[in-house]
């Protein structure tokens, strides 16, 4: 069944797998999702990720997907305690560089889609670019 909000679906998969203490989660591939995954890895919220290319098996196309290794701390405490979609298809949220909100007083991150690519809130403030607030992670 097609998904209306692919980024929201990805974030929900990450949230559910993290809460269920799964080791990895598989997400359908897209360029935007891959860029968000790269930011999450750079910020230390997830472990390694692997992109599986599209293949044909038994006359059936297997679409490309991303396998993400989830990260846990001591006592299997998940690295992602909260992940929330901010800008949704029905209501887009944009912020200029001076008005990018801090997440939990700086303990979390916001991921933005800017004219210079997908980046974390601190990097967007440093480069003085605003953009669409995709999600917050803490």
Give the span between the Cα atoms of 20 and 129, in whole angstroms: 36
Domains of the chain: 6-137 (3.30.1490.10)
Using one digit for the tens of pLDDT, what is the confidence trace for 21-79?
Answer: 999 999 999 999 999 999 999 999 999 999 998 877 777 777 899 999 999 988 888 99
Work out the angle at residue 74's Cα, subtended by the Cα atoms of residues 72 and 79, and round it to the nearest 5 degrees.
30
User: Please, what's the b/e burial string for 71-88 (b: 16 or more CB within 10 A of its CB; e: otherwise)?
Assistant: beeeeeebbbeebebbbe
Using one digit for the tens of pLDDT, what is the confidence trace for 74-98?
Answer: 888 899 999 999 999 999 999 999 9
Work out the angle at residue 118's Cα, subtended by the Cα atoms of residues 112 and 124, and round it to the nearest 5 degrees.
55
More confident residue, 10 or 56: 10
pTM above 0.95, yes or no: no
Question: Which tokens go with 75?
Answer: 């006592």
Residue 138 has pLDDT above 80, yes or no: yes
Residue 1 has pLDDT above 70, yes or no: no
């Amino acid at each position: 069944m097609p998904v209306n909000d692919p980024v929201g679906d990805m974030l929900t998969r990450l949230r559910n797998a993290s809460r269920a203490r799964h080791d990895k989660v598989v997400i359908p591939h897209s360029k935007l999702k891959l860029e968000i995954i790269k930011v999450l890895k750079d910020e230390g919220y997830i472990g390694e990720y692997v992109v599986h290319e599209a293949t044909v098996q038994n006359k059936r196309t297997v679409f490309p997907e991303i396998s993400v290794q989830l990260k846990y701390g001591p006592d299997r405490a998940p690295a992602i305690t909260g992940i929330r979609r901010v800008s949704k298809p029905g209501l887009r949220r944009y912020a200029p560089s001076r008005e990018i909100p801090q997440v939990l007083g700086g303990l979390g991150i916001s991921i933005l889609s800017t004219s210079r690519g997908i980046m974390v809130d601190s990097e967007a403030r440093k480069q003085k670019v605003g953009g669409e607030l995709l999600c917050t992670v803490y």
